[in-house]
Structure 1
Amino acid sequence: MSTETDGRAGEALDAAKRPLDVLFEPRGLALLSTGLLLFSFTFPLYEIIDVVGDPSTFLLVVAVTLLLATGLSRVVGAWTALPVGLALLLLGLWMYASALPADVVAQQDRILGDVVSLLMGLSVLRLQMIELFALAYTPAPVLLTWYLALRRRYVGTALVGGAALTFFVLTGDVETLVALLGVLGAVGTIGFGRLERFGGTDRAIETMAVVLAAMVVVTMLVSVVPGGTGTPFGLFGTSSTETIEGSLINSDQRVSIQGSISLSPEVRFTVESPREAYWRTGAYDRYTGDGWVRTGSTLDYRGELSSPPGEDRVLEQEVTIESEIGAMPAAWKPVSVSDGVAGDTSVTSLGGIQPTRAFGPGDSYSVVSRQPVAAPSRLQRGGDDYPRQIESRYTNLPASTPDRVATRTRQIQDAADADTAYETARAVESYLEREKGYSLDVERPEGDIADSFLFEMNQGYCTYYATTMVTMLRTQNIPARFVVGYTTGEEVDSGTYQVRGLDSHAWVEVYFADVGWVKFDPTPAGPRQDAEREQIDGGGGDAGNGDDDPEPTTEPPSTPEPTTRDQNPNTPGSTPSTIQTPATDGNAQRTTSDGSGGIPLPEPPSREEAALILVVLAGVAAGARRLGLSERAYRAVWVRWQPRADPASDVQRAFERVEYVLAREERPRRDGETPRQYLTAIDADEDVERVYRLHERARYAGEVTAGLADDAVAAANEIVRERTGPFG
């Protein structure tokens, strides 16, 4: 092949590889990795703020901090910037502590306990005034991480950003995929940074990209903790089925809404009580869009607790544990516990009780509860003059909650002619109970759970019903909260109730002035009891006595019973069978997989999954380039496919393709060897000679016509087809 031809072919290959060279430039990759690291610890804060308010201020603070860090990197040395970052952190935390309510600040032991708990798994979502906490905490790590990266202090960048990410890993507020992105960012920052500072070949950079991709792939295939209970995670979620009890009762500070779920027939405890009740184990006040969090800390039980604000009646319960349980079931509202367990009892910030250690078979305790007297007539008279702390705590919703949830709730209010909080609660309860089917086999939706259940799902189980009802009431500024525990269970003797794992349940409590918290249960009782009975009949073991088992009971009218439904649509507590949704109600419903919406559409990858996919693809591209596969692939396409341009360029390209094939099949043309000498030496056939003659005519005689170009390209195509293998 001639030197001129080699040069042109080389230029074509260089042009094809130039974008890859830009992609693998060390400085750019180091800063891109730093960006991933920044994202990994700011994104959890963004999601946290979205739960309680508008995150736009937070985004503005991050943007201003990045600009400040960029400016400081040009004028200030590292030993000056580090104290500035530390001062920002201390100032922010001082401002946060100063803004806390006086009663919280006075309990210094609680604040210290919260700090320790944060490092041992306490979610940041449990903190009070978390918007201010996020704004106070964010500037320091963002400023130092970006500043150090711009100053080429890559190890320091990874240490600061990694420490910020580790904090959220310890609190459990960062998702696995986001944490993995942060790890990749830290490793990439150091690795590419060292290549940028100390030099490195393209092969070293490619190796780094392959290592990062391998980290992602390996992580997809292994558990979080070897030998532990962690499950494999990766780019595509894995489905698992657990019991309702496991997802609710065993969750202390946080409840995540699950997909398909099962029931456990195992007997958990028995209760001796003169009246039936729902045996409550916990409540949650902060809705995250995909689950619930209980804010605040627990305190030691130090004697009798406060009673409801209105009239109440006493209920004494004796509880005997039948199998290990980490909760303390009791009717609402508990005010005292027996002396034998008082030292092992703590009080939650929402007024419930819980044990400091798990109970085992044979353990027992007694509880005295004062149940609010919640006659419908009293609740009807309740106004909307709620205590300030109750209203601010129990009407909050994530800023991302779709507006159509409030719109649908107002439609239900209008259809039921509901003017009071009680009438609205009954109308919403009735609507969900009638319009949604009950099933334990559901696919967990993406996005806001309440919105998805209300508009995109036809069926679900108790956590979906309760979450949706609380959310709907909060859109109308009615204080409500998510409650978990057990239904009454099976009455095996007069005043003795046997409670199984399958009796675990979630329901709603609504606050009424001068009454307190009152239970509402939007889950349809009949289908739920059918599912429980089916599990008992087919359970085996200690599942019960088959068809002779009494039907599960429900709670008596210690809380208000629904008013007449499905008769007069204007009666409070009733709703029409169908609510028409106006066109402005929100986004169109997604196609579902239950047959009601046609062919299900595949879910697009999340932002985090897309980023990890890009990392893997970059690693694959780097590996292919390292092995020469990318160049071979380009040449295979280049030699087989010739896009048409002008006649002169077409003839030249056809000639270069033929010379490339001959160089592989025979030998390259030597320097100083004319094309005619080369053809004679390799004993070229007629097709090859034809291309060479056409090239000579075009180049030396100036005979460049469209017809001549067509002949040259056609002849070159035939030669390539006959002489090249599968890889060119």
Structure 2
Amino acid sequence: MSTARVGRRLPRALTDSPQDTAAVACVAVVVATYLSVLYDVTAVVGTSTTLVAVVAGALALAGVLRALPGKYAFALAVALLVAGLAAYLLSVPRAYYAALSPGRVLKDTVALLTGYSVLRMPAAGTWAVAVAPAPTFLAAYFTARREYARAAGLAAAALGFFVLTGDASTTVTLVGVLAAAGAVAFETLALHDASTRQVQVVAAVLAVMVVASATVTAVPGGRSPLVPAEATTTAGSLVNADSYVGVGGELRLDPQVHFVAESDQPTYYRGAVYDRFTGNGWTQTADVGTERGTPPPTGDRITQRITVERRLDIAPAAAVPQTIRGLDAELTEGGLLQGTSTLYPGDSYEVVSRAPPDDTDVLARETGVVPETIRDRYLQVPESTSGDVVDLADRITADAETPYRQAEAIEAWLEANKEYSLDAPNTQGDLVNEFVLRGEVGYCTYYASAMTVMLRSQDVPARFVVGFTEGQRVSEDEYVVRGVDSHAWVEVYVPDRGWVTFDPTPASERTSAEESRVEQARSEGVSGVDAAGSENGTWTPPQTTTPQTSTDSADTEDGNNQTAPRDRESYFGTSQGVESPENATVPANLGDGAGGDAGGDGSTPDLPPLTTLAVWGVLVVGAAAALRYTGITDRAYRALWLRWLPDGDPAAEVEAAFERVEYVLGQRYRERRSGETVREYVADVAPGDAAERAAVLRERARYAGSASDEDAAEAKRLARSLAGEYSRLPSLRR
């Protein structure tokens, strides 16, 4: 057994050799990739400080126990993982813990490994903190023992888990794979005592891998990892069966008919409820809608028959469903439809719902206690939420004394201060921060996300809802609903009354944009735009004694039956000065000039994500290594140094000029030996008059103490002349 191999089994301090340094750096990057996923999870639910402390403790423990035999270190890591998972199980809701069984564990494990995001888990932050120490401890332990391949392998396995759950982005995965490959390569170089030039070759190869992955992709339309992904929504509908919905960016909606509804009154059709905001999207955690303690709805009874015209992965229905026929679906205790099967054209089902309470006077007085299960789930805001957003919400709701009045105030402020547009700008950071503090335009997901987060910052439970607006009315009790009618709004929990619907998106602008898109599709001959006679125009009820003052499709037929969110614009007025109900007066310009990290005019550029910067870092380091390996950087530096001569004291100028002359002579003939004088050196190599004159000037400046400006100018001229001759004779350069 070689001495090198024996030595590597001993826990020694890390050296400063380039191989070890590069290997340690690569392992650190792999560890950082999976920790970045866990950090993102904890940043959403507010436990990132705990995660950082736990990771620091695991690293310190690895440093202290690096002399521990491997089998004991592995056993300790397993113990850390088991203890962490036990703590997690004790933190999840009692209903989940009571239902725990081997079958449930197996089912959840398979779900995680097939794309079930960690963010959907109950107590996701606790889970992230629980699983972080074990792989981090082992990776640091093996790194301290110079077993870089093992360390990188363990860290890569942890990253692979998050690739399977779908939580690791393409860029994070690429960074981790490159770093793991680098750790193995640099460990091999360290074992064979490789030279610095070989280390440079490996770094250059990693850079080539980055370039290749950025320019060649097997996925049509795949984005380069060198450029951060844009938050652009291009789906034909906001409503789908996914547990995650992204928000932000340009939105292009589908004008084709999705379903036709027979309903005894116009309503919004709820599709899905989301409870956890990540900063740029909403996640639906497990068992959402099963919270106990929610009061039953007390509004009107609504009967609807839905006939599907295009494939649907959800079952839209008016809130709050009570019974359903013709569809295999689970109705949760909280009144949500879950587990619905895919619906195809021609499928039909009937839903009977009870509308949420709609007595404004009663709702506005409620100040009761919110159940703990509701508070635990619907008050979460990500750590990225700006303090300026919270301060603004404080000021908007300062005169609102109840949750309902607070919701009215924030809804009114958003309508008065933001403009509706489907061409909203992309955001790289937290969407709510950008929209509330700096943005001017947005569409429904912007409005609904902002209102939900602002209410939660005021300790008012709220949730993000997607579904469809009532669509085009084609008869007294029939509605045609298209993809353009997909929408997002807010449900606010009112104590002792339950969930109440609010829609902060300006109704008239939204309706105008939807109608324009449908008319464009008709003119272009797009198929499936009309059904049930919708091409003949919108049906309107016969004029009564009190004529309708608004034809906006968001208005309800009966002002007392607010089964759809109210048209807040007509309720509060269309001017920038918002006329709010009692105790909800909100100045239209409240929040202008917000300080802190608001950015004022928004001129401060946003930095790319850390993962993108990491990829660029690998590319830059690899490119630098390649340049060093080929000698390009040295030649470029020498070429610049030979021709650039500093100004200053004449004696110093003469000395600097002769340094260039001596370098040229060393490349053309030989270098001056140690102890050899300049006079002896010049006499031996016989370089010619120009070099001999430069040597004389240098000798006189150094030993006679006399150097004039003319001497300095002559020395510079001679140095540049010799450097020019040298550059024209490449065969003499080494």
Q: TM-score, normalised by structure 2?
A: 0.85
Residues 260, 567 of structure 1: alpha-carbon distance in 2 compared, 3 angstrom cutoff: closer
**Mapping of 1:17-166 within 5 angstroms?**
25-73=18-66, 75-108=67-100, 109-166=103-160
Residues 601, 587 of structure 1: alpha-carbon distance in 2 compared, 3 angstrom cutoff: closer
Q: Verify the 8 A CA contact 1:308 1:370 in the aligned structure 2.
A: no
| C-alpha distance in 1 between matches for 2:517 and 2:457 | 37
Q: Verify the 8 A CA contact 1:44 1:173 in the aligned structure 2.
A: yes
Q: Deviations over 1:192-222 (max 9, x none)?
A: 1221123222232112101211222222223
- Whether 1:450 and 2:444 are equivalent positions in the alignment is no
Counterpart residue number, 1:213 = 207
**What SS does the corresponding residue of 1:174 show, helix, strand or coil?**
coil
Of 216, 220, 223, the match for 1:232: 223
2:63 is aligned with what amino acid? T
Counterpart residue number, 1:326 = 313
Residues 425, 244 of structure 1: alpha-carbon distance in 2 compared, 3 angstrom cutoff: farther
Q: Deviations over 1:673-709 (max 9, x none)?
A: 95565686x6x45x4442132134356x544546586
| C-alpha distance in 1 between matches for 2:495 and 2:581 | 25
| C-alpha distance in 1 between matches for 2:452 and 2:164 | 29
2:554 is aligned with what amino acid? T
| C-alpha distance in 2 between matches for 1:375 and 1:155 | 66
Residues 564, 611 of structure 1: alpha-carbon distance in 2 compared, 3 angstrom cutoff: closer
Residues 669, 98 of structure 1: alpha-carbon distance in 2 compared, 3 angstrom cutoff: closer
Q: Verify the 8 A CA contact 1:374 1:515 in the aligned structure 2.
A: no
Counterpart residue number, 1:8 = none
**Mapping of 1:466-615 within 5 angstroms?**
466-539=448-521, 540=524, 541-542=526-527, 543-544=529-530, 549-550=537-538, 553-554=553-554, 556=556, 557-559=561-563, 561=566, 562=568, 564-565=572-573, 571-581=582-592, 585-592=595-602, 600-615=603-618
Q: Which moved more, 1:229-238 or 1:284-293?
A: 229-238
Q: Deviations over 1:129-167 (max 9, x none)?
A: 223212211110000011111112222112210111111
| C-alpha distance in 1 between matches for 2:108 and 2:555 | 37
- Whether 1:626 and 2:637 are equivalent positions in the alignment is no
**Mapping of 1:102-501 within 5 angstroms?**
102-108=94-100, 109-223=103-217, 226=218, 228=219, 231-237=222-228, 239=230, 242-243=233-234, 245-246=236-237, 248-250=238-240, 252-297=242-287, 308-338=295-325, 340-342=326-328, 345-346=329-330, 351-414=335-398, 417-501=399-483
**What SS does the corresponding residue of 1:341 show, helix, strand or coil?**
coil
2:369 is aligned with what amino acid? D
Residues 347, 306 of structure 1: alpha-carbon distance in 2 compared, 3 angstrom cutoff: farther
**Mapping of 1:676-715 within 5 angstroms?**
684=688, 687-698=690-701, 702-703=704-705, 705=707, 707=709, 710-711=712-713, 713-715=715-717
Q: Verify the 8 A CA contact 1:244 1:502 in the aligned structure 2.
A: no
Q: Verify the 8 A CA contact 2:406 2:584 in the aligned structure 1.
A: yes
* RMSD of equivalent CA atoms: 3.1
Q: Which moved more, 1:249-258 or 1:275-284?
A: 249-258
Q: Deviations over 1:567-589 (max 9, x none)?
A: 75673444222215576x53242
**What SS does the corresponding residue of 2:343 show, helix, strand or coil?**
coil
Residues 144, 409 of structure 1: alpha-carbon distance in 2 compared, 3 angstrom cutoff: same
Counterpart residue number, 2:542 = none
| C-alpha distance in 2 between matches for 1:500 and 1:633 | 64
Q: Verify the 8 A CA contact 1:334 1:353 in the aligned structure 2.
A: yes
Gaps of 5+ in 1: 1-21, 593-599
Residues 239, 38 of structure 1: alpha-carbon distance in 2 compared, 3 angstrom cutoff: closer
| C-alpha distance in 1 between matches for 2:126 and 2:497 | 33
Q: Verify the 8 A CA contact 2:275 2:288 in the aligned structure 1.
A: no
Residues 713, 606 of structure 1: alpha-carbon distance in 2 compared, 3 angstrom cutoff: farther
Q: Verify the 8 A CA contact 2:420 2:506 in the aligned structure 1.
A: yes
* Corresponding residue pairs, total: 680
Residues 34, 670 of structure 1: alpha-carbon distance in 2 compared, 3 angstrom cutoff: closer
Residues 695, 240 of structure 1: alpha-carbon distance in 2 compared, 3 angstrom cutoff: same
Q: Verify the 8 A CA contact 1:257 1:464 in the aligned structure 2.
A: yes
**What SS does the corresponding residue of 1:142 show, helix, strand or coil?**
helix
2:226 is aligned with what amino acid? L
Please report how far the alpha carbon of residue 668 of structure 1 lies from its aligned counterpart in structure 2 after TM superposition.
5.2
Q: Verify the 8 A CA contact 2:47 2:126 in the aligned structure 1.
A: no
1:189 is aligned with what amino acid? A
Residues 427, 333 of structure 1: alpha-carbon distance in 2 compared, 3 angstrom cutoff: same
Residues 350, 430 of structure 1: alpha-carbon distance in 2 compared, 3 angstrom cutoff: same
2:50 is aligned with what amino acid? T
1:549 is aligned with what amino acid? G
Q: Verify the 8 A CA contact 1:397 1:471 in the aligned structure 2.
A: yes
Q: Verify the 8 A CA contact 2:24 2:148 in the aligned structure 1.
A: no
Q: Verify the 8 A CA contact 2:298 2:354 in the aligned structure 1.
A: no
Counterpart residue number, 1:18 = none
**What SS does the corresponding residue of 2:167 show, helix, strand or coil?**
coil
Gaps of 5+ in 2: 1-14, 539-550
**What SS does the corresponding residue of 2:146 show, helix, strand or coil?**
coil
| C-alpha distance in 2 between matches for 1:173 and 1:571 | 46
Q: Which moved more, 1:113-122 or 1:424-433?
A: 113-122
**What SS does the corresponding residue of 2:597 show, helix, strand or coil?**
coil
Residues 452, 296 of structure 1: alpha-carbon distance in 2 compared, 3 angstrom cutoff: same
| C-alpha distance in 1 between matches for 2:288 and 2:378 | 18
Q: Verify the 8 A CA contact 2:46 2:125 in the aligned structure 1.
A: yes
Please report how far the alpha carbon of residue 720 of structure 1 lies from its aligned counterpart in structure 2 after TM superposition.
4.9
Please report how far the alpha carbon of residue 176 of structure 1 lies from its aligned counterpart in structure 2 after TM superposition.
2.6
